[in-house]
Structure 1
């Protein structure tokens, strides 16, 4: 990793290349209060810089910033306010960056990971999302770690190369198989005129004959998973051998989110701030995927992107 300034310049350069100089997000918006020379695109670039370098404490991160390197830098409070207002734009920018990453095969992997808000023993004291009944955090079970946790669940679909195509955040108790209900529509939005069959690799948590049939008939998606031990003989299915080891790609993505981007560490005080940080982490990862592809590095090895 290089300095904050050099990483910021690389990320800002990518955003300008992908979005173009005429993008509305470059235009300074008239806001009440003191005028600022820090544009919205620089706000997003600074947020991605912090996330890609693993800074979870904004107070410490701003203490590292030099006025010499960032002459128009605004206060931490102004930065937080404007970044939260840019939550929708952050996801739109991620989609634009993702559209520039070439996917060689029509094979994707779906899985989920826990997003813990706090230690399980402190779940009754957490107020984040308590007033939002439609996406209120609750207790879920993580089978891979054999433990209950309190918070949310991140559902993601990534390519063979390791770039996250789309994602959603749900309460922790939301079952993985129910996420298949929206996958067909999400793929139909992104594939445009491409009518080739898509292969979607999943684990046993996505076992569903009805969803498998619906995805195949309505969205031309072939759902591949290994059947559970108690499955009926006529419903038994297996992941083909060429794709069997590729399912681990999304586990690598989740490990990167946990280790490099520290997605499990939460310092947000509101639900909007929490989700904005999640969105920023996913955008940062996509930018690093893009940099790797442009420099002929493996897309998934994001730690090498800013070297």
Structure 2
């Protein structure tokens, strides 16, 4: 439990240098736990490998468990997802400020069996983000779902994490992120070698 408290306080201290305490406007009452504290608790759980909210709230010290209930934490964490990503990008930029080399790769995220894909209703709320059928050359398999694209520094700090439908080629992902990574060397497998920046 002491580890959780110490990690929480240390992460909160770093976050206070990057962002304001309150990130969302509230209409009714002022919450006991500020937005940055909720984000710090979420990042602490991730850092410590606590992937179950039940387990997290069993380990919470009293001074934190009195501030927020589990259902409220879950709701607020979902509302803060955009702000969490913005903070993650700020942290990555500060860690990777002087990096010249990055590694880029992707992996398949299979969400459904191919033979059942026509009946699938998973992730089909918006047409622009429909999953579809793709091929993974390294594993020699067709799959239905998405591709996870990741760019990280040689020190292991993630600069960019993105999802695309399975049929999107690596080259199109590189075109999307070239403004973020303009003055650096990207190291990748054969799927990325066809890309040439024409600007």
Q: Distance in 2 between matches of 1:198 and 1:153?
A: 24
RMSD: 2.9
1:70 to 64, 70, 85: 64
Question: What's the counterpart of residue 14 of structure 1?
Answer: 14
Distance 1:25 1:143, change over 3 A: farther
Q: Distance in 1 between matches of 2:2 and 2:76?
A: 26
Q: Distance in 2 between matches of 1:79 and 1:57?
A: 13
Distance 1:125 1:50, change over 3 A: farther
How far 1:100 sits from its partner (Å)?
A: 2.1
Question: What's the counterpart of residue 205 of structure 1?
Answer: 191
Residues 222-267 of structure 1 deviation map (CA, whole Å, 9 limit, x = unaligned): xxxxxxxxxxxxxxxxxxxxxxxxxxxxxxxxxxxxxxxxxxxxxx
Question: What's the counterpart of residue 4 of structure 1?
Answer: 4
TM-score (norm 2): 0.81
Contact 2:8 2:44 in 1 (8 A): yes
Residues 196-241 of structure 1 deviation map (CA, whole Å, 9 limit, x = unaligned): x532222111232xx31xx1x42xxxxxxxxxxxxxxxxxxxxxxx
2:20 paired with 1:24:
yes
Please state whether the residue corresponding to 2:67 is helix, strand or coil: coil
Distance 1:85 1:27, change over 3 A: closer
Please state whether the residue corresponding to 1:24 is helix, strand or coil: coil
* Bigger RCO (CA 8 Å, 6+ sep): 1
Contact 2:132 2:165 in 1 (8 A): yes
1:106 to 95, 100, 112: 100
TM-score (norm 1): 0.56
Q: Which runs of 5+ in 1 are unaligned?
A: 189-196, 219-307
How far 1:128 sits from its partner (Å)?
A: 4.0
2:80 paired with 1:86:
yes
Query: Higher helix share goes to which structure?
Result: 1
Contact 1:38 1:72 in 2 (8 A): no
Question: What's the counterpart of residue 245 of structure 1?
Answer: none
2:34 to 16, 21, 39: 39
Pairing 1:166-245 to 2, within 5 Å after superposition? 166-188=160-182, 197-208=183-194, 211-212=195-196, 215=197, 217-218=198-199
Q: Distance in 2 between matches of 1:80 and 1:71?
A: 13
How far 1:102 sits from its partner (Å)?
A: 4.7
How far 1:118 sits from its partner (Å)?
A: 6.1
Please state whether the residue corresponding to 1:3 is helix, strand or coil: helix
Residues 26-58 of structure 1 deviation map (CA, whole Å, 9 limit, x = unaligned): 3674243x6521110111111112222223322
Query: Higher strand share goes to which structure?
Result: 2
Distance 1:117 1:49, change over 3 A: farther
Contact 1:107 1:201 in 2 (8 A): yes
Q: Which runs of 5+ in 2 are unaligned?
A: none
